[in-house]
Amino acid sequence: MKLAIVGGGPSAFYVAARLLSRSADPALRVHVFDRLWAPHGLVRYGVAPDHPEVKNCTHKFDTVASDSRFRFFGNVNVGAPPPPAFAHALHLPLSTLHSHYSHLLFATGCTLPAHHSALANAPWCIPALSFVHWYTKHPAAPPPPPLHLLDHVSLIGNGNVALDVARILLAPLSRLEKYDIPGSVLTALAASTVRHVSIIARRGPLQAAFTAKELRELTSLPDTSMKPLDPALLEVPPGEIPTRQQARVLQLLAQGSRERYGHTPRSWSLEFFRAPLGIEPASAPDAGAMLSLAPTVLDSEGRAVRIPDAPSEKLRTSLVITSLGFRGEPDAPYFDQEMGHLRARAGRVIGADARPVKGVYASGWAAMGARGVLATTMMDAYGVADVMLADADSTASESTADGEQLMNPAPTDDAPPAMVQAGLAAGRVVEYADWQRIDAEEVRRGEALGKERERMGWAEADAVLRTAKGQ
User: In terms of DSSP bridges, do strands 313-317 and 289-298 run parallel, antiparallel, or are they unpaired?
Assistant: antiparallel
Please name every residue paired with 73 in a beta bridge, in sequence order, or none if there are none.
33
Q: Is residue 323 annotated as involved in ligand binding?
A: no
| 288 marked among binding-site residues | no
Q: Is 75 annotated as a binding residue?
A: no
> H or E stretch including 292?
strand 289-298
| Strand order, beta sheet including 125-127 | 125-127, 319-322, 152-156, 196-200, 266-271, 224-226
Helix (H, G, I), strand (E, B) or coil at 34: strand
Ligand-binding site membership of 203 (annotated):
yes
Amino acid at 86: F
328 is in an annotated binding site: no
Please check if 78 is assigned to a binding site: yes
| Nearest CA among 168, 186, 108, 142 for reference residue 457 | 142
Distance CA 343, CA 337 (A): 10
The answer on whether 158 is annotated among ligand-binding residues is: yes
Residue 214 annotated as part of some ligand binding site: yes
In our burial notation (b when 16+ CB lie closer than 10 A, e otherwise), range 52-83 reads eeebebbeebbebbeeebbbbbbbbbbbeebe
- Which residues are registered as beta bridge partners of 267? 196, 225
CA distance 131 to 140: 11
Q: Around Cβ 197, how many Cβ atoms within 10 Å?
A: 25
Q: Is 347 annotated as a binding residue?
A: no
**Per-residue b or e along 411-420, where b marks 16 or more CB atoms closer than 10 Å to that residue's CB:** beeeebbebb
Distances (CA, A) of 321 to 153, 271, 317: 7, 14, 11
| Cα distances (Å, whole numbers) of residue 165 to 46, 110, 155 | 11, 19, 8
Per the annotation, where are the binding residues?
11, 42, 78, 158-161, 202-203, 214, 365, 372
Per the annotation, where are the binding residues for NADP(+)?
158-161, 202-203, 214, 372
Per the annotation, where are the binding residues for FAD?
11, 42, 78, 365
